Amino acid sequence: MKRWAILAVATSICLTVGGGTVAAPSQLLLLSPEEAARLRLGDGDYVAPPGVRGTTGPRIVVRAPVVRQTADGAVIETTPATRFFIVFEPNGAPVDMDSLEIKARKGVLSMSLTPRLKPFIEGSALKAESVTVPEGRFLIQIEILDTSGARATERYRLDVRGS
């Protein structure tokens, strides 16, 4: 009887700790104030124009916030409280979500945002409903491979303005 009780308790602990689903955190601070201060683009900061993207890598489709195409490249305008919904579509081979790398960049400075965003990956999409981003202009780079090794890299200027 004692053996069964121990087994029942152990099974209960395993199901509670290891067997449940892991929910993504409900809120995300994309950049701390200190990080934003280092990575915020000033008026004189040069942002390289977008390069020509190869057609064999996955397609990166930003569904939210809205992306606007300008002479300076792709611009995302949003408020400090926003949501991100990005879909990675296969363009030949399946998308390798483990290869996803998202960075904030300024000149030679680069900071990976991937560890903060990974909990919000659902299948071949990134869905973060409650994201806080400090005000300012930032350069965001998204890079992903497919299972055959074909790469897609997109750069966006993220313009965050008070609501």
pTM for this predicted structure = 0.80
Q: Using an 8 Å Cβ cutoff, are 91 and 55 in contact?
A: yes
Closest by Cα among 72, 32, 58 to 159: 72
Distance CA 106, CA 68 (A): 21
| All structural domains of the chain | 24-160 (2.60.40.10)
Mind listing the pLDDT tens digit for each residue in 81-102?
999 999 999 998 999 999 999 9
- CA 35, 36, 37: angle at the middle one, nearest 5? 90
SS3 94: coil
Mind listing the pLDDT tens digit for each residue in 112-123?
999 999 999 999
Mind listing the pLDDT tens digit for each residue in 17-40?
344 334 455 789 999 999 999 999
| pLDDT value of position 48 | 64
Question: How many residues are present in the chain?
Answer: 163
Give the single-character DSSP code of 40: -
